[in-house]
Each structure stands twice: as structure tokens, then as C-alpha cells.
Structure 1
């Protein structure tokens, strides 16, 4: 089975954890072990990953040296994708030494008139307490929003329209290569009037881009791995309930946070409705069990709704 596996930025760098190279590698070692187990089950995988914490850190580092000139978010996104992809490829190849790997920078076309440019929702960078977040927003011209019990910077997150390297990725997958791509949702680009491309100041949601990639590759499953074990109704309250198996229509009307679970659910719904194939969301450590249907939340066009 061909599975597009989307690793959440918070699965690679745990929430509230210092954003050091050592912590990131330690988490990627853990992720690589899980992915190796999934591959060992006989599945072909294409690996995508988030970059929210990392691209935000790079933006902060760039802002600390204003005399050097600020790099735009598309360039910082490419930088973070290369950084994370390199470590994922290295740690996976240490476990699967007979396999072939390729990490690709991936351009993703977006609409320059997407309303997301006016209403940013994508959280990037570290978390702050409310007072610190408001102070930084005033100092740096940021837009900010709540993220759980903390606050983060938010930036534009336009809808992905086309994975431009999809044919290259498909070519490699057909030849047994394990591809790491669409890092951070891919590098956002727009088409000029003459058809040429240029980058744009935004961060694409990794899950929506992964769903699009899975459709373009005709994948058998979309698997989104994060730091929670399932999709919950009334998450964070005493009445929280985990969804086990749902149809897209059963969750499409519910309200989920736009900066976290909302895009994952939207990505799952898009994939299931377009292909009739399953999508799933769950905890990184549970990946093998999620694919078997034993854990996580499954989205299936014909599945009954089970809440545990």
C-alpha cells in the first residue's frame, strides 16, 4: 500500500521543548524508528513533514541581524525543509541501509488572491505567554493568535493548488525510492502573467499539501501523525471524546481549531471525498497500529461513527 505519511512539526519538536538541534534530532530518531516499522510492514511511503516551529525560529534568527536583510518566508521555508529532510533521510537510512532515499525541495502553486493573505491563521515559531506575545507583536508587526493555553505568531497559509514536482516524486516512488518531500507544506509559489514562477510570503499547511500530494500520486492512504492520539470532540474539556471511525459528513460541520486540528480534518475530508480511500490521524508512536485500524481516528467514506 502506498501511504503519504505527514509528520507534524510538533511530532518532530515537542510542544514547549527548546528548539535545539539536539532535541530535533532526538525526536527525528524516534520518528525514523516508527517509519522504519511501517516500511517493515511492507508499505511504500512518501514522507512529508511540518516546519512551523523551525521556520519561525529561522525567522527570529534572521530578525536578530536586521543589517543582513530579512529573508522572505518562502526562502526560510525551503531552508527549513532542507534541514529537516536531511536529518530524516540520514536517520532513516541508518535504519534501512539497503533502501534508496531522496529528499526533494517541493514547489507548491498557490493563488495570489487567496483570502488567507488577508486573514493569517498558520502558527509558526515558539509559544509565548499572552503578555509576551502581544509585546512582540507590537514591536515586530506580527499577527498573533492563541495556540492552546499559549500564543504564537500567525502568518498567511494559502490553499495549495498543485504540487509541481509530483511527477518527479511519482517517478522515484515507482522505482522503490523512499521520498521525503513537501516539507513544511512545500515552498509557496505563484505564477506570473508570463507563466514564470516566484516565491510568496506565506507558509502552506503541511496537511492540506500532503492531501493534495496523496491525490496527485494516487496513494492508497493519507496518514497524519501528530502529538495527540486521535481527533477529539470537545478537546481539553471534561466531556472530551475521541473519534474512532467517522465519515467526512459526520465531522465536516464540527468546529476544530484552525491552527491545529482543523486543517488535518480538512485534509482528511478532501482526500476521502476525492478518492474514496481512507485517511487517518493519530499519534506518531501509534503509526503501525493506526494503519492496521487499531488506533487513531480513521476517516472512511462508509465507516460508522464510533466514539470511545
Structure 2
């Protein structure tokens, strides 16, 4: 059981709350999905967890390989039943040796590391290092899929099982699995900082300038309004598909800065979406109609990036 917890937290980079609150129903309602990656057919299993400690209004999703799913099945069918007693919660997937709900998945990871005499790696450390690695290795669109896999989505569990979304989840899971060591990993900025930088309309070239970004981060950390906005995005995480908080909702968080929060959130998401579209046309310049069709295929209903803005970004990227 500790190994499966570590698999979700350290390999799939899920928050400990996902482990603690994953239900039997969510496991039995998992979706088997055939995904093709570089002409190779893969059998993946997508699980959506609707409640976790960090933000109950979000849905966490992850995609297990066929081998990983088999490990989970063995635990669920062979081991978990031996742990149940009269006081056990009926719909919680992970059950402790005392038959209770997992109290603290982070403690379980520490116990696992201590048992095998290996350095303890926390959820926060794993996520930070992996985010950092993606900066130099992945395209803008891949980084956003990766960030979405980590940040979770405000979509409902039903939406997570739609065809397009299933494909994105599987793609992101593969990106996570490909993360490897990098000599300069500690000296590179994290992808979460990239999301913050896009709010100022930075181009892809500017995002790769560590000195400029460090200067901007230092300035933001000394700005109370920017620090408040950062906390606001923890409540309403930025991702490609979320509708985002309404201005009225933002003002309930802060009467003084609510409108600013709402405007900046939408501007940042718009830039994210534009960069995502740009990432699909790295090798050739598309027509306006091709860009328009790709935007429409994403199913976004509002806050759509403008075609001319995307064409401008493509032109700048071709010059660098």
C-alpha cells in the first residue's frame, strides 16, 4: 500500500490529498482508454478523484499504465479486504493497517523511505524538481499539459472522461513519465513561474531568460497585490479549460483587488491558450483558418485567444 501511495505522489505527482480521499467508486468507475503515442498503441487507465484536501472543488486525474493498474487491482481485490473491519469507511480506497482512512500520506512516504534506508522525498520536492526539468525539455503546449496534470482541473468528473480530455490526460501522463535527470535542473526556473510570467504577455523567448524572470519574481514577491494574486490562483488554479472566477466572485475574495484578480486571471489564461495553440505549429506556419479550427476544436466557450495574436506569436517565434 505504501508503494502505491508513493506511485501516485512521486511518480504521477499527485497531491497527498488524492491518496487520502480516493474512493472505491472512483476506482470502479475508472476508464480504460487506448492512446497512441508516437505510433505505439498504449492501454491506459484514467482515474478521476473529485475530492482532495487542497481544493475540494477541483478534480484530480491520472492515467495508470496496464502494469500499474494490475498492482492497484491486486491491492483492491486481495489486500484491502483483509484490512477492513466494522469501523472501516466503506467507500475509501486506501485503508490503513488499523482499518481506518489514511490519515497522512506524507507520513506513509517517510515510513517507506525509512524502511528501505533511502532519502526522504516529499510531494513538494518531487513536483518542484519535475516542473523545473520541463522548462528546457518541453514545448509551451507540453508544459501546459504537464502543469494541468499537476494542478488539477475545476472541470467535473464527468468532463474528465470526455474523448478530448482523456487524450490530454494520457498525453500529460506520458510527459510526466518521461521526466529524467538534468545537470542544470536546480538552476532552471519552474513551470509554475512560467505561468505567472505569461500574465505580462511574455513571448517564448523571454520566458527562457532566467535573469529577467528572476528579477520579475523578486519584484512580485515585494508587491503585496501580486502576492495576493498568487494566493488567489491557489484558490482558482489557472488551466487551459477552466471558465475561471467571475468578477463578482473575485470581489468576494478581495474588495480592493477583486477586479484586478479577475482581469489578470483571464489575461494569463488567454496567453496560456495562445501559447498552447502556437505549440502545435512549431514546424510550419499555419493559415488563419487552421488556427481558427484548432481553437474551435478545444471547445472553449469564452476568453478565446485572437487568431491575429497567435499569428503574431508564430511570426516572432520563427524569427528567434
User: TM-score range with shorter-chain normalisation?
Assistant: under 0.3
Greater RCO (Cα-Cα under 8 Å, separation 6 or more): 1
Task: Pick the structure with more strand per residue.
Answer: 1
TM-score of the aligned structures, taking structure 1 as reference length: 0.28
